[in-house]
Amino acid sequence: MEKFLVCLLLLCPLRVSAGILADNVKRMVVFIYSADATGEADKRKPLGTGFLITVPVRGTPNPMAGEANVQGVMLLITARHILDPAWAYCSTPQRDLVYLRVNTKGYEPLKDDSDGVAYVPLPLAKNGKPLYEVSDDSRIDAAVIEVGSVLVSSDRYDVRPMRLSVFASSGEIGNLKIGDSIFSAGLVPGKSGEKRNYPFFKFGNISNIPGESTWVGCAAERPELRLERVWFIAANLVEGNSGSPIFFWRTLPDEEITRGALIGVQSSAIGGADIAGMTPIEDVFKIIERHMPPGLDLFRGDETKRK
């Protein structure tokens, strides 16, 4: 009985911190939809998931889970194949516009008859050139695009980006191993809410950290056409989860990583195997690092231990 109480006391703070992290994740996650032939949001065609990150201006205090806005650049991060189907060898026409489906503030599902979501247009190209950034390495299934002018200009939307420091640091990434617990949150087509976004949380483990690239394709349409650099996650993730954030989830008090750190972006799902590909967050960080203007704080790691 005494041993049980000790274990319970040790694990309670971990469960509480996981719950706090989950609340924040729900507000950073957005759903990505296609545009129809008229340029309006095609509410029948969800494409996948994305999430919001702020790269703060250097010297900006960290609100540490508070409501204060962080001055900086707001980015949408997602899987590259969602924004750039030609790169993934998909037959889908190339996209110049998508819509972000986001929750609106002040919505009460038991009282309001109207929808509690808004479809926010996000242009992907200007004068024929992509507005999103990708890796110099063609094996990386990740894309980053600035969305500040789209979302920050209105206080209507119930979104809150996480600070870039939530990215796992190089040291934390080096401590990750097969079997470590992870969770993700994203869209499940047809099940993620009619009047409100409800990201589905899924839990699993790191399954493999291969030292070589893996052949993938555009789902069953054109399999195994290109190489991707991915880790593998043992979790039942589906295609609508593509672009979802994947977090390390601390489940033991003696683990070397002491926080919920963002470790990757879902790239692909392997049907029937309960395995998904994850683009390592290190590769996403390199995209951000290369394209951000000077004067921004690129720190990633535990803010409480920052010197």
Give the residue numbers spanning the domain of 254: 14-292
Rounded to an integer, what distance in angstroms lies between the CA atom of residue 214 and that of residue 75?
28
For residue 99, what are the β-bridge partners?
33, 121
Does residue 301 sit within a domain? no
Predicted pLDDT at 151: 74
Domain count along the chain:
1
In a domain, 306, yes or no: no
The answer to whether residue 7 is domain-embedded is no
- One-letter amino acid identity for 295? G
Q: Is residue 175 part of a domain?
A: yes
* Predicted pLDDT at 271: 67
The answer to whether 192 and 201 are in contact (CB under 8 A) is no
**Is residue 128 included in any domain, yes or no?**
yes
**Does residue 300 lie within any of the structural domains?**
no
Q: How would you label 155-187 residue by residue, b for 16+ Cβ within 10 Å and e otherwise?
A: eebbbbbbbbbbbbbeebbeebeeebbbbbbbb
Task: Assess if residue 307 is contained within a domain.
Answer: no
Q: Does 297 reside within a domain?
A: no
Question: pLDDT in tens for each of the 307 residues of the chain?
Answer: 443 333 333 343 444 345 557 888 999 999 999 999 999 999 988 999 999 999 999 887 765 544 456 688 999 999 999 999 999 888 888 999 999 999 998 887 777 677 889 999 999 999 989 999 999 999 999 999 999 767 765 678 989 899 999 999 999 999 999 999 999 999 887 777 778 898 989 999 999 999 998 888 776 556 667 889 999 999 877 776 899 999 998 776 667 787 889 999 999 877 667 888 999 999 999 999 999 999 999 999 988 888 7
Per-residue pLDDT, 84: 94
**CATH code of the domain in which 65 resides:** 2.40.10.120
SS3 at position 176: coil
pLDDT at 210: 93
**Measured between alpha carbons, how far is 72 from 54 in angstroms, rounded to an integer?**
6
Q: State how far the alpha carbon of 114 is from the alpha carbons of 16, 31, 107, 143, in Å.
A: 33, 19, 9, 33
**Non-local CB neighbours of 118 within 8 Å, separated by 6+ positions:** 101, 102, 104, 156, 157
CA dihedral 20, 168, 248, 11 (to 10 degrees): -60
Q: Supply φ then ψ for residue 13, to 5 degrees.
A: -60, -35
